Amino acid sequence: MLLEQNHVTQKDGFSHRLVEDSVWGWMLQTLEDATWKDSYSFDLGLATPQDIQLGNFYTSNSPDTLFTQMRLASKPLQDGRVSLSNNTLTTLKEGQETDTELPSGPGYLAELERVFDIRLDASFSEFRQTQG
């Protein structure tokens, strides 16, 4: 993606752009339902390895982030993307979106392995309750 104001990049069925903001620096936006929505911001200041580690620790441990409240996975495909949000599997292929509700239990684990190549050494009953 070019670091250029309002340059639209299309990848895996999604449109993104960067806009400059006087408070936030650069804001990555994603086009959803004909509306540009803020995804995250960044600036061009120095980031040390410790900055990155702290951000990663926060997003993987804080009870206030989606990554600890939900079961999430996403994988690019040749002609789209497949994403998992809790029990909803969303496939985007050639501009067509399909949602499939996955069953709880062993069927869920089987789909994780089939779709994302994720094998867990835990049973579904050991999963933490999710929100959303």
Per-residue pLDDT tens, the chain, 132 aa: give them. Answer: 889 999 999 876 789 999 998 998 999 999 988 999 999 899 999 999 999 999 999 999 999 998 889 999 999 888 888 999 999 999 988 878 899 999 989 999 999 999 999 999 988 888 877 776
- Whether 122 and 89 share a structural domain: yes
Quick one: tokens of 19?
């806009």
Question: Is 56 inside any structural domain?
Answer: no
Between CA 52 and CA 83 the distance in angstroms is 25
What is the reported pTM?
0.72
Question: Is 53 inside any structural domain?
Answer: no
- Whether 33 and 67 share a structural domain: no
Q: Count how many domains the chain has.
A: 2
Quick one: tokens of 42?
């960044």
- Whether 18 and 66 share a structural domain: no
Domain range holding 34? 9-42
